[in-house]
Structure 1
């Protein structure tokens, strides 16, 4: 859990383009008048309609911005690397909202009213009635631990399945990052919801079942050809992937394919060095597979996708991080 984390990778063309897709800014034909929420009411001119899922998206943006300002948790080695990821997420989400016509005044403030690292003077008592300006968001609590900060992002995500289809994959990936960070900090996966969602097209989960089974088999091969330390690491990963595979297969139900006895190796794995590289590549490939499937899954079954995929993909991103792949702002999409 204490592996140093390389800095987040530079934004890709795919992510930068997300903010410019599906622009719905309302402009009067021939007049160039943009309708804002606070614009005067003009007869026969419609006011701006909120974009799909606007309220939950604004709530999520506020939580991500707050997380970007939270002080690092000294008890979690990964914590200092998370603020840049949250800043990147906030920038992408803000740009997507603005380019879809959400007025600047409706967006959460980019900065708190007080320094999140401020502490009380040892010689003067802190006033119990002191509070931030009513026009500014509350300061980030300085004592909030990293899991709680990431948990606040997940708590703010309710309703995000209402967002337009093109925004759903990066939203799920953003939430997967929060799940991954919590899993890396606590050493345990998030519990599945008590009432499991029903997938209307469970056959779409087949690629995920097959990919996790294949990755598990590849890690078993890597473990057999690794050093003693590599074997322990691989076996821990195998156990986690087996639990994940069982959960996805259960969600797929009768659509889940019969397990294969084995899979052809994509490359030779005969030495400990090759085994270590193969294990890293296996985990990264699995994360990429999840990212590639987000579009179809979130378009067909958005409610079920937002209930299950962030947790599943967060586990894969955490596993990839343990194998040497840096945690990014949008795992699987960068």
Structure 2
């Protein structure tokens, strides 16, 4: 089976084709101001083309495809507010909102990847949250998964691995208390988190030598409802803690791309457990 295109290849696709795609939809990359002597044209913000294309994508997302249903409206308003604050012209934003996307689904994912890689550092948490929602919308195979490599700065990945180990310990206890179908469902979550942990230890160059031998678990796990509550809280917390890493990854956008996939994973694993996904994952509350 062929491997999905890598992020770097998709970034090339974005750079080569996005300008044509968005201008074909009516989104322009520059102001309409005439060239006047001694009056410089506005310099677009970092990643502006991809960010405006995200506005177009979100504006055309339907209630049926949005995760959670009906969330795209809040997401696009939040992104528009951020772009307005950064002085992206209202006319550019309006054209983006009114445009009809002409790109394929793979190219739509490339828009989010491009924005994540090119946006200025202050926008990274918001763009990362929007990208998580796009990954959850699927298909997940379009979000390319490169072989894990050590990050430029390993501390954030080690922090993620610490959180994942603690979650796995808790869910292992849940598995021991559960039975039948409940146990099988928890084991599926454990398997998914173990896959994440394997990537995190590589990213963090983490040999596990500083990992604690055990953890305190104060919650009662006597009933299925109590165990389900712990699973939901654990997965929701993991997603938010992974996304919080983005603030320290402005200089390593490959790592930021990986974190988006990490943050989406526990939310997807939590679907059978009714884990709530907010309109802006990791940014609410």
Give the TM bin, normalised by the shorter chain: 0.7 to 0.9
User: In the TM superposition, what is the alpha-carbon distance from 1:191 to its structure 2 partner?
Assistant: 5.4
The equivalent of 2:89 in structure 1 is 103
Of the two, which has the highest radius of gyration?
1
Matched residues in 1 for 2:179 and 2:232: separation? 15
The equivalent of 2:32 in structure 1 is 38
The equivalent of 2:74 in structure 1 is 88
Matched residues in 2 for 1:330 and 1:191: separation? 22
User: In the TM superposition, what is the alpha-carbon distance from 1:55 to its structure 2 partner?
Assistant: 1.6
User: In the TM superposition, what is the alpha-carbon distance from 1:263 to its structure 2 partner?
Assistant: 1.3
2:281 aligned with 1:326? no
User: In the TM superposition, what is the alpha-carbon distance from 1:158 to its structure 2 partner?
Assistant: 3.7
* Number of matched pairs: 253
Indicate conservation of the 8 Å contact 1:203/1:255, yes or no. no
Matched residues in 2 for 1:165 and 1:235: separation? 37
User: In the TM superposition, what is the alpha-carbon distance from 1:330 to its structure 2 partner?
Assistant: 2.1
- Deviations along 1:8-46, one digit per CA (max 9) or x if unpaired, are xxxxxxxxxxxxxxxxxxxxxxxxxxxx82234444343
Matched residues in 1 for 2:145 and 2:32: separation? 42
The equivalent of 2:164 in structure 1 is 212
Matched residues in 2 for 1:49 and 1:257: separation? 49
Q: What SS is found at the alignment partner of 1:52?
A: coil
Aligned with 2:100 (options 111, 117, 137): 137
Normalising by structure 1, report the TM-score: 0.66
2:132 aligned with 1:176? yes
User: In the TM superposition, what is the alpha-carbon distance from 1:182 to its structure 2 partner?
Assistant: 2.3
Matched residues in 2 for 1:249 and 1:311: separation? 15
The equivalent of 1:9 in structure 2 is none
The equivalent of 1:223 in structure 2 is 175
The equivalent of 1:278 in structure 2 is 230
Q: What SS is found at the alignment partner of 2:229?
A: helix
Indicate conservation of the 8 Å contact 1:176/1:317, yes or no. no
Indicate conservation of the 8 Å contact 1:153/1:178, yes or no. no
Root-mean-square deviation over aligned CA pairs: 2.9
- Deviations along 1:123-161, one digit per CA (max 9) or x if unpaired, are xxxxxxxxxxxxx53579xxxxxxx85x55422124322
- Deviations along 1:61-84, one digit per CA (max 9) or x if unpaired, are 222223x14x84xxxxxx465552
Within 5 A, what are the aligned runs for 1:1-334? 37-66=31-60, 68-69=61-62, 72=64, 79=65, 82=68, 84-107=70-93, 108-111=95-98, 136-137=99-100, 149=105, 151-160=106-115, 161-182=117-138, 192-193=145-146, 196=148, 199-254=151-206, 257-296=209-248, 298-301=249-252, 303-334=253-284
Matched residues in 2 for 1:326 and 1:308: separation? 22
Cα 1:138–1:314 shift into 2, 3 Å: closer
Matched residues in 2 for 1:138 and 1:284: separation? 32
Indicate conservation of the 8 Å contact 2:50/2:112, yes or no. yes
User: In the TM superposition, what is the alpha-carbon distance from 1:48 to its structure 2 partner?
Assistant: 1.5
- Deviations along 1:177-212, one digit per CA (max 9) or x if unpaired, are 2222326xx7x8965225x56521012211100111
Normalising by structure 2, report the TM-score: 0.77
Unmatched segments (≥5 aa) in structure 1: 1-35, 73-78, 112-135, 141-147
Matched residues in 2 for 1:239 and 1:311: separation? 16
Cα 1:190–1:232 shift into 2, 3 Å: farther
User: In the TM superposition, what is the alpha-carbon distance from 1:310 to its structure 2 partner?
Assistant: 1.5
Matched residues in 1 for 2:195 and 2:223: separation? 28
Matched residues in 2 for 1:220 and 1:62: separation? 43
